[in-house]
Amino acid sequence: SEPTPTFSAGLMLPLNIDQGRYLTSVMRKGTGDKVSVFNGREGEWTAEIAEAGKKQVVLRLLEQTREQPQAQGPVLAVALIKRSPLEYIIEKATELGASRIQLLMTRRTQSDHVKLERLKIIAQEAAEQTERLDVPEILSPVKLEAFLAAPDVEVIVFGDEDSTHEGDERRTMPLLEVLSTLTSKRTAILIGPEGGFDDHERQTLRAMENVHPVNLGPRILRADTAAISALTLYQAALGD
Ligand code: SAM
């Protein structure tokens, strides 16, 4: 979507073609009708439809009805997977309160091709549907190692095997226990690709103090199921 100008009462806001059509054809709105508007930065506003032409729909902003909340939820760091389950993850992670979605390149990632703009639209539509005022940022893929090197982030890695290995002191813990030990405000939920993390990545993850392994049970879940389950459990535990 186009960046919108700073909101203020009286601002005239032309909609893009899809938004205009949605309002007039799907929602059957016309001149004078009231709608809610948000741009992800300046809370929620009411607006009235000032012009409802076939080619252009223009809103006039009236007043702010909700303040912009602070983004609270966890970061979802997810390896690039096939288009359809990835899109599903973006939609559901937005509904479930992820504050940001970081795409990752891992050693078993099959392709680095991703249509970021399409993913952003999916996030925006899911945010509208769920009435959250902030749209999670979708960040283009970075290598797993680069993501892990970011300072001040606690990473909960969801692995599909018990990460207890000989000589490894740190055992897989229940999520609730992990959450109670976290010190940083920035928590990331890390989900691997279809083929999982390879041995080298598992070793790297196990060696890091800020990485906390959690298991979602004895069955191997698809990455989309794992991402949604992890976010749901986080949400249920912390209510963010
Ligand atoms: N065969 C792969 C492997 O050996 O790792 C399976 C990968 S699984 C389809 C995709 C991702 O979902 C995993 O990398 C992991 O992050 C997550 N996942 C799947 N099942 C899980 C489980 N039971 N507990 C925690 N995470 C799981």
Q: Judge if 58 and 92 occupy the same domain.
A: no
3-state helix, strand, coil in the chain (%, to 5): 30, 25, 45
Q: How far is the CA of 65 from the centre of ligand 1 (A)?
A: 42
Q: For residue 195, which atom of ligand 1 is closest to its CA?
A: 2
Q: Which residues of 175-213 are buried (b: 16+ CB within 10 A; e: fewer)?
A: beebbeeeeeebbbbbbbbeebbeeebbeebbeeebbbb
**Domain presence at residue 4:** no
**Domain presence at residue 140:** yes
CA angle 14, 19, 22 (to 5 degrees): 130
Q: Judge if 38 and 152 occupy the same domain.
A: no
Q: Judge if 79 and 62 occupy the same domain.
A: no
Please, what sign has the CA dihedral across residues 157, 161, 167, 173? positive
Read off the CATH number of the domain in which 161 is found: 3.40.1280.10
Q: Judge if 107 and 49 occupy the same domain.
A: no
Query: What predicted TM-score, i.e. pTM, was given to this entire model?
Result: 0.81
Q: Is the distance from CB of 37 to CB of 12 less than 8 angstroms?
A: no
Residue 196: give the domain boundaries: 75-238
- Candidates 104, 110, 160, 164: which one to mutate for ligand 1, based on the most atoms within 8 Å of Cβ? 160
Question: Which residues share a beta bridge with 223?
Answer: none
pLDDT tens digits, 186-234: 899 999 999 999 999 999 998 898 899 998 888 899 999 999 999 999 9
Q: Judge if 190 and 142 occupy the same domain.
A: yes
The share of the chain scoring above pLDDT 90, in percent, equals 62
Tokens of 73: 């939820």
What is residue 182's predicted lDDT score, i.e. its pLDDT?
A: 79
Q: Which amino acids bring their CB within 6 angstroms of ligand 1? A: 158-160, 191-192, 194-197, 215-217, 219-223, 226
Q: Which of the residue ranges 16-30, 86-100, 106-120, 169-183 would you say has the lowest mean pLDDT?
A: 169-183
**Domain presence at residue 105:** yes
- 15, burial (CB in 10 Å: exposed 0-12, middle 13-18, buried 19+): buried
Q: Judge if 57 and 103 occupy the same domain.
A: no
- Candidates 220, 229, 231: which one to mutate for ligand 1, based on the most atoms within 8 Å of Cβ? 220
